[in-house]
Amino acid sequence: MTDATDQVAVPCPACSPDFETVHEVLSEGGQATVKCTECGHVHKTTLPEETTLQRDVVVSQDGDSFSASTDVPAEETLAVGEEFLLETDEAIMTVRITSLELATGRVEEAPAEDVRTIWTRAVGNVSVNTTVHPKGGDREGTRSEELHVPGDYEFVVGETDELGELEFTVEGIHLREDAHGYNHEKLDHDGDMAFAKDIKRLLVRDESSTAWSAW
Average pLDDT of every residue of the chain: 89
CA distances from 12 to 4, 8, 31, 34, 168 (A): 17, 11, 14, 9, 60
Report pLDDT for 3. Answer: 40
pLDDT in tens, 99-132: 999 999 999 999 999 999 999 999 999 999 999 9
Average pLDDT for residues 51-69, to the nearest whole number? 91
Average pLDDT for residues 131-155, to the nearest whole number? 89
Asked if the model's pLDDT at residue 212 lies above 80, the reply is no
CA distance 98 to 119: 6
Residues 179 and 123 sit within 8 Å (Cβ to Cβ):
no
Q: Are strands 52-61 and 117-122 parallel, antiparallel or unpaired?
A: parallel
Q: Whole-prediction pTM value?
A: 0.70
Q: Where are the alpha helices (DSSP H) in the chain?
A: none
CA distance 61 to 183: 26
Q: Are strands 77-79 and 193-195 parallel, antiparallel or unpaired?
A: unpaired
- Burial class from Cβ neighbours inside 10 Å (0-12, 13-18, 19+) for residue 103 reads exposed
- Report how far Cα 133 is from the mean position of its chain's Cα atoms: 30
